[in-house]
Amino acid sequence: MIIDDPLKPSDASSDPKREHVNAWFKNTLYSRLDDKQKGAIIIVMQRLHDDDLCGFLLKNSHDWVVLSFPAIALEEEQIPIGDGRFHDRHIGDVLHPERESKSVLDNIRSELGEDIFAAQYQQCPSQPTGHMIKRDTIQRYGYLPIRKESHYIIQSWDTAIKVDANNDCSVCATLQVDERRNYYVVEVLRDRLLYPELKAHAISQAKKHRPNIILIEEAGLGRTLIKDLKAAGLKAVGVIPEGDKLTRVSVQLEKFANRQVFVPREAPWLVGFENELFAFPNGRYDDQVDALIQALAYERRAPLWNDASLKNLERFTTALWLAQMREASSSALRGPFRKSQKIFPFIPCFALRNSLFHGEQGITA
C-alpha cells in the first residue's frame, strides 16, 4: 500500500486537519492491509510539520524504516542502493545539483524562509527559527569509543514528582566524555516512576554504566534520591541549577556548534530523545533536555597530581636533593660545617616527595 502526500502544505499549520489525517491512517487505512504480517505500507511525502503523518508515526513506533533525502546533506551518510553497493553523501552535498544547484537552493531558502525550507527541502520540520538545538549540529557514532582511563562517565538525573500523563517523566542520561571533551550520549532512560522504582532504576543504571559521578537536581524527590544513592556507596552529587532553562541551554549551545555532542545512529530511545531535543523550547516536554544539559554543564576538576606531574616532581626534588648533597660534601672538604651555608631549606621538598610516593595522608615540613 502506497500513500502519496497525505497532507497538503496549506493544511500543515492546522491542528484539526493534521489530526484528521493521522486518525484516518490509524483508524481506517491500517486495518485495510490484507496480510498484516507480510504486508507493507510506504508513505511518500515531504515533511511539513513535526506532527504530520510521518512525525506522528515515528513518535509512536520504532518499526518504520526512514529514507530521507534532504536537498543539502546534513550528515555523513552511506545510502544502500542494492547488491551491497552504497551511495556516499557528505555534509553539504546537494541532492540533484543539475536540477537545483546550491546557489538555487540558497535563493529558495531566502524566498521561503528558514522554517518552510527546513521542512519541505531539508525534511526537518522541527528545525524552525526559534528552536535552539539544530539537527545538523548533532554528530553520530556507530560504535561507542572504548572507555579509557582518561574518559569519564556522567549520569544525569531529572526526577519528576508526579506520574500522570500530563507531567514530565523522570530521565537518566548517561554520557561518556573523552579526553577531547567530546560527549557521547550512551543511553537515555525515560519513564514515569514512583519513588521505589526510581531508586531501583538509579541503582541499576549506576551498576550498568559505572559512572564517575551521578548528577541529581536538588529538588523534590531528587534530595531523597541523593541521600539514598550516597548510602548505597554511589557518587551522587546534588545540583542547583543556575538561571532559567533557556539560559542553561544557551550556555551549552557552543558544545553543539563545535560538534562535541554525539548520539548513536540507532537506539530504541533515540527517536523520542531527538524529537524533544530539536523541538525545544516549543515542545510539549523538556525532561530529556534538562538531563542532557545538566550533564553538559558539569565541569570535571582536574586532579591535583597526575602521573606526569608526579614524575616531574620526583625529578625536580631528586635533583635538588642531589645538588644539596654535593654542596654538603664540597663544604665538608673545604672546612667545618657552618650554619650560614643554609644547606637544609630543601629538606621539606624531600619530605614532600617521600609523602607523595609512599601514600601518606598528611604532609609536614
pLDDT digits (tens, 9 = 90+) for 43-62: 999 888 888 999 899 888 87
Among 174-178, 298-302, 341-345, which stretch is predicted with the lowest mean pLDDT?
A: 341-345
CATH number of 136-296: 3.30.420.240
Cα 203 vs. chain centroid, distance in angstroms?
21
Among 49-63, 127-141, 295-309, which stretch is predicted with the lowest mean pLDDT?
A: 295-309
Q: What pLDDT, in 10s, does the model give residues 198-255? A: 999 999 999 999 999 999 998 888 999 999 999 999 999 999 988 888 889 999 999 9
221 versus 271: which is more confidently predicted? 221
Among 146-155, 198-207, 300-309, 319-328, which stretch is predicted with the lowest mean pLDDT?
A: 300-309
Per-residue HEC secondary structure of the chain comes to CEEECCCCHHHCCCHHHHHHHHHHHHHHHHHHCCCCCCCCCEEECCCCCCCCHHHHHHHHCCCCCCCCCCCECCCCEEEEEECCEEEEECCCCECCCCCCCHHHHHHHHHHHCHHHHHHHCCCCCCCCCCCCCCHHHCEEECCCCCCCCCCEEEEEEECCCCCCCCCCCEEEEEEEECCCCCEEEEEEEEECCCHHHHHHHHHHHHHHHCCCEEEEECCCHHHHHHHHHHHCCCCEEEECCCCCHHHHHHHHHHHHHCCCEEEECCCCCHHHHHHHHHHCCCCCCCHHHHHHHHHHCCCCCCCCCCHHHHHHHHHHHHHHHHHHHHHHHHHHHHCCCCHHHCCHHHHHHHHHHHHHHCCCCCCCC
58: amino acid identity, one letter = L
- Would you place residue 332 in the very low, low, confident or very high pLDDT band (cuts 50, 70, 90)? low
Q: Distance between CA atoms of 136 and 221, rounded to whole angstroms? A: 35
pLDDT at 278: 86
pLDDT at 21: 94
Is the confidence at residue 346, as pLDDT, over 60?
no
Among 33-42, 209-218, 334-343, which stretch is predicted with the lowest mean pLDDT?
A: 334-343
User: What pTM does this model have?
Assistant: 0.54
Is the confidence at residue 74, as pLDDT, over 50?
yes
Q: How many residues does the chain have?
A: 365
The residue extents of the domains of the chain are 2-120, 136-296, 307-357
Percent of the chain with pLDDT over 70: 85
